[in-house]
A and B are shown apart, each in its own frame.
Chain A
């Protein structure tokens, strides 16, 4: 369980923005928190998984994919802002993510 600092928040945002700009050949200045991953960037669900792998390595996270899957079913992500919030929750709560719903 990591405490989310402003520095982590900034770092996660930068990684997410850069990732989508690179993969979707989008202008990074056109991406904002309300940008739709599917409709505006032509992204796909696999990108979410690839980002999880990036953050798992970066922050040495103890998180199982099935935990994220169960959480994501109840809390679907469609915008960049929602995705960043989800990634921050994963970093903060790791395998305890589902306890947020209790």
Chain B
């Protein structure tokens, strides 16, 4: 018999803050975390802005990770482990009181950030800093968890995939608790130069805070962000038995592959639409129940056009009644962390009854005519919400969340 799956702990580390509360308050206020790059000298690059995690992260990290272990991690791995420890504390789990063989870890990891900006890499720690399973491994080591522990790489959809796998493991009774999420930090010369070569990044450097403008007519590419998002998924019965806080339920999901192009989404958003449709069916909800979509919304020409077309294909006449917003307008594109961070924002939207805005929506694109929650957050008592993630390589994921009526 399948189990109901709830979220009992969450945390975000991003350019907009180091705690869940700080992030949520800044998101609701419509603030931008995009600034001039400070991690390295970007003066020779076309793109010179990014959404960097504040430097206070280093002090926060030292509170959660011992020096010895920290020396074997990259900055982004420390972000992931720090976020995981905050999420676990938020959930109130005492791992001495649960069956550790039924506790698992799945992290979306695109890379471990052992790049030119990483400090103190030595022959002794190169392997640990580079191995792509390091994030889930360190988390399972921290709590001595003995359920499955692994990394998923599906590019920008990685942590949404991690949530989908975690959801299935709890739903099917394989695990009672799964710590899921992801972290990413690719704000370095090589990655930005590479994405510039693909014309994928915004080069609207002035003013930095307006560079990411999803669904706008003058959108010119995404802005790289860094950060981590971690959720504690748990069976509802397990969470209730220990009086855990419950943020929202996960009602269902879909993951698909487009088999089409290494970079571009399938024409007219057909693959995206198929994923959204399958997720709605999987969740067993009606389309008219869906009160909000947290879009992938990258601020690229193709994604925003095709995602809009996909939503129209799925929702038909209802499409313009469903608010759609992009958190990337504020946080930039956090790549491997994006799916998890945006899932958390979606869960908080349900819990708090507030839809986060799409900021920098100053020039509407006449072809993109949905309700993008322009520039200001909005109160709305919603019951069901979706979060989309689409990655280079044709990796699509849609997660369906339901308000917890406890």
The dominant DSSP class at the A interface is loop
One of A25, A43, A46 near B124 (C-beta < 8 A): A46
A23 at the interface (CB under 8 A from B): yes
Q: Which of B59-96 contact A (CB under 8 A)?
A: 66-68
What separation, in Å, do the CA atoms of A88 and B392 have in the docked complex? 56
Interface size, A (range): under 10
One of B66, B67, B124 near A50 (C-beta < 8 A): B124
- The reply to whether B68 and A42 contact each other, CB–CB distance below 8 Å, is yes
A24 at the interface (CB under 8 A from B): yes
* A45-65 Cβ-contact flags toward B at 8 Å (1 or 0): 011001000000000000000
What separation, in Å, do the CA atoms of A13 and B66 have in the docked complex? 24
What separation, in Å, do the CA atoms of A43 and B124 have in the docked complex? 16
A44 at the interface (CB under 8 A from B): yes
Q: Residue on A with the closest CB to B141?
A: A44
- The reply to whether A23 and B67 contact each other, CB–CB distance below 8 Å, is yes
Q: Residue on B with the closest CB to A22?
A: B67
Residues in B neighbouring A47, C-beta threshold 8 A:
68
On chain B, the number of residues with a Cβ less than 8 Å from chain A's Cβ atoms is 4
What separation, in Å, do the CA atoms of A50 and B66 have in the docked complex? 18
What separation, in Å, do the CA atoms of A43 and B67 have in the docked complex? 11
Residues in B neighbouring A42, C-beta threshold 8 A:
66, 68
What separation, in Å, do the CA atoms of A50 and B67 have in the docked complex? 16
Distance from A37 Cβ to chain B, minimum over Cβ atoms (Å): 11
* B138-153 Cβ-contact flags toward A at 8 Å (1 or 0): 0000000000000000
Q: Which of B108-131 contact A (CB under 8 A)?
A: 124
Distance from B142 Cβ to chain A, minimum over Cβ atoms (Å): 11
Residues in A neighbouring B124, C-beta threshold 8 A:
46, 50
Distance from B121 Cβ to chain A, minimum over Cβ atoms (Å): 15
* A1-42 Cβ-contact flags toward B at 8 Å (1 or 0): 000000000000000000000011100000000000000001
Distance from B126 Cβ to chain A, minimum over Cβ atoms (Å): 13
Residues in A neighbouring B67, C-beta threshold 8 A:
23-25
What separation, in Å, do the CA atoms of A46 and B66 have in the docked complex? 15
Distance from A4 Cβ to chain B, minimum over Cβ atoms (Å): 28
Residues in B neighbouring A43, C-beta threshold 8 A:
68
Residues in A neighbouring B68, C-beta threshold 8 A:
23-25, 42-44, 47
What separation, in Å, do the CA atoms of A42 and B66 have in the docked complex? 9
Q: Residue on B with the closest CB to A20?
A: B68
Distance from A45 Cβ to chain B, minimum over Cβ atoms (Å): 12
Distance from B203 Cβ to chain A, minimum over Cβ atoms (Å): 44
Q: Residue on B with the closest CB to A43?
A: B68
Q: Residue on A with the closest CB to B67?
A: A25
Q: Residue on B with the closest CB to A23?
A: B68
Residues in A neighbouring B66, C-beta threshold 8 A:
24-25, 42
Distance from B295 Cβ to chain A, minimum over Cβ atoms (Å): 43
Residues in B neighbouring A44, C-beta threshold 8 A:
68
Distance from B128 Cβ to chain A, minimum over Cβ atoms (Å): 9
Provide a sorted-by-A list of 11 A–B residue pairs whose CB atoms are within 8 angstroms: A23-B67, A24-B67, A24-B68, A25-B66, A25-B67, A25-B68, A42-B66, A43-B68, A44-B68, A46-B124, A47-B68
> What 5 A-B pairs have minimum CB-CB distances, sorted nearest first?
A23-B68, A25-B67, A24-B68, A25-B66, A42-B66
A42-B66, A46-B124, A47-B68 known; 12 other A-B pairs, CB under 8 Å?
A23-B67, A23-B68, A24-B66, A24-B67, A24-B68, A25-B66, A25-B67, A25-B68, A42-B68, A43-B68, A44-B68, A50-B124
